[in-house]
Amino acid sequence: MAGFALPRGLKDVAPEEFESFEVVRSAFIETSRIFDYKLMEPSSLELLETLEAKSGPAIRDEIYCFRDKSERELGLRFDLTVGITRFVTSRRDLSPPVRIGSFGSVWRYDEPQYGKYRWFYQWDMELFGPSNADADAEVIEFSSTLFRRLKTRPRISIGSRKILESFIRNSLGIDQDKRILDAMRAVDKLSKKSFDQIAEEYSNSFSKDQFQKLVEFVKLGGDSSKVADALREIKLDAGSLPSIIDSLRSRGITDVELNLSIVRGIDYYTDMVFEAFDRDNPRLGALCGGGRYDSLPAIYGRPDLAATGVAGGIERAILAVKFEKTQSDRYFVAAVGADPVLRDKANSIAAELRSLGISAQSDISGRSLRKILEAQSSAGAKAVIIVGEKELARNAVNVKWMSSGEEVTVHLNELKDAISSHS
């Protein structure tokens, strides 16, 4: 019988990957705690009109959407930001600034890139309140702190959709909103497609000559003061970017560059946008991205709230993190031989350890002690607790520590203390 395959772009999270997944999740939760972000999870299903509120009907091509049994048009969430914004804007009892984080799965129908899938997990944090440089710097600091906690070396690239829009309007003479958004989408695709492919795709929105000028403009980057000087020469204001850089420096975040080719693909961003990359593995692409999106709360009825935030995919974080294979704090209890009395005692000891919060398991396959020791050595158990007839007669067991090979006899009443002393 042929095996059953998953649809393209989807994957199972295998046990070995799930352990790495938990490392990233724990680091995110701890980073949220030290920055005082409260955690929640928005609904997986949204009314399609909610998802279309900013991006318009075109978003249908990029997400999973359908009609339910009541003929309502629904969509699976494509990010956590929209749901969090809907939630916060409905809660007028929350006093700004509102700091909210979330960790959950999202679905997108676009073609998967390296390290990305159509169903994947994201971490997300959003800051609702003032629209200023310090708020933007805080979400960038959060991102840098998270990835340094995961022992990676993040490089932050910051851009500005407001500056890019100003160039498109004033220097390229493009003033229709749709054509401006198409020009930004074209810039976002520069790392994925060739110049000619993109120019052909958006030929109805701008000419090849206009696109060439746009490509040259977004090469502008590097030191913030030099970028500001270059923008002044073409009569463009650097806006909030210098102030964001200053705020980051005051927070000890100096590994930052300006890069006007960073625009982010989602249309609700309004000004500052940024992405973080792994210095040691740039092929991964962006580990996270975010920016300012003041217009989205207004669409949901809260023009008084400004917003900025960041999100990152767990799968790429796992690929970036240098996980060290360490011995687990897991114990295995094995009986010598097939005597049911000894096997029952092994089961009882394992259950007692679990009741104390210690990870423990006993054999259910009837394997020999030699095979159990071989298997548990490969599996990374900390110790195998051996239940033998002679030792049990003295109310004791043998404990074999797998890293050193040392084997000691321990009285059952002292087993917990023996385990604790090796933790």
Q: How does pLDDT run across 180-217, given as a tens digit for each residue?
A: 989 998 998 888 889 999 999 999 999 999 999 999 99
Q: Does any domain span residue 98?
A: yes
Residue pair 104/126 in contact by the 8 Å Cβ criterion: no
Question: Domain limits at 63?
Answer: 15-162+252-320
The answer for residues whose C-beta is within 8 angstroms of residue 195's C-beta and 6 or more apart is 211, 212, 215
DSSP 160: E
**The pLDDT value given to residue 4:** 77
Residue 6 resides in a domain = no
* Nearest-5° Cα angle at 173, 169 to 179: 70
Q: Give the contacts of 141 (CB within 8 A, at least 6 positions apart).
A: 248, 251, 253
Name the CA dihedral angle for 22, 24, 27, 33, rounded to a multiple of 10 degrees. Answer: -80
**402/285 same-domain check:** no
- What is the sign, positive or negative, of the torsion defined by CA atoms of 120, 125, 130, 134? negative
Largest CA distance in the chain: 92
393 shares a domain with 308: no
Note the pLDDT tens digit of each residue in 81-135: 999 999 999 999 999 999 999 999 999 887 766 657 888 899 999 999 999 999 9
Q: Calculate what percentage of the chain has a pLDDT beyond 90.
A: 64
Which of 320, 344, 377 corresponds to the end of one domain? 320
> Residue 362: its pLDDT value, please?
94
What digits encode the pLDDT tens for the residues 39-85? 999 999 999 988 887 677 778 888 999 999 999 999 999 999 999 99
Whether the CB-CB separation of 158 and 140 falls below 8 Å is answered with yes
Same-domain check for residues 307 and 412? no
Residues 285 and 392 in one domain: no
140 pLDDT more than 50? yes
Identify whether 369 is part of a domain: yes
Task: Give the domain CATH number at 385.
Answer: 3.40.50.800
What does the block give as tokens for 414? Answer: 């002292």
* CA atoms of 326 and 33, how far apart (whole Å): 26
The beta strands (E) that lie in 221-358 are given as 221-222, 256-259, 272-278, 288-292, 306-313, 330-335
Answer with the one of 289, 320, 351 that is the final residue of a domain.
320
- Residue range 395-409: average pLDDT? 93
Residues 32 and 140 in one domain: yes
Same domain for 154 and 263:
yes
Q: Where a domain ends, among 298, 320, 342? A: 320
| pLDDT for residue 13 | 82
Mean pLDDT of 383-405: 93
pLDDT band at 38 (very low <50, low <70, confident <90, very high): very high
Look up the pTM and report it: 0.82
| Long-range contacts of the stretch 413-420 (C-beta < 8 A, 24+) | 415/349, 415/353, 415/385, 416/353, 416/356, 416/358, 419/331, 419/353, 419/358, 419/383
Q: What is the CATH number of the domain that holds 275?
A: 3.30.930.10
Asked if residue 278 and residue 371 are part of one domain, the reply reads no
Top pLDDT among 4 and 137 is at 137
Sign, CA dihedral 251-255-261-267, equals: negative
Same-domain check for residues 40 and 127: yes
Asked if pLDDT for residue 18 goes beyond 80, the answer is yes
Q: Both 335 and 259 in a single domain? A: no
Give me the pLDDT at residue 327, please: 53
Total number of domains constituting the chain: 2
Rounded CA separation 273/163 (Å) = 11
Q: Does one domain contain both 265 and 347?
A: no
Q: Are residues 51 and 99 in the same domain?
A: yes
Tokens describing residue 391: 């030792």
Q: Is residue 27 part of a domain?
A: yes
Within a domain: 204: no
Which comes out higher in pLDDT, residue 299 or 222? 299
Is the confidence at residue 266, as pLDDT, over 80?
A: no
Grade residue 309 by pLDDT with cuts at 50, 70 and 90.
very high
What pLDDT does residue 1 have? 43
The predicted structure's pLDDT at residue 2: 53
Residues 51 and 138 in one domain: yes
| pLDDT of res. 196 | 92
* pLDDT for 285 beyond 70: yes
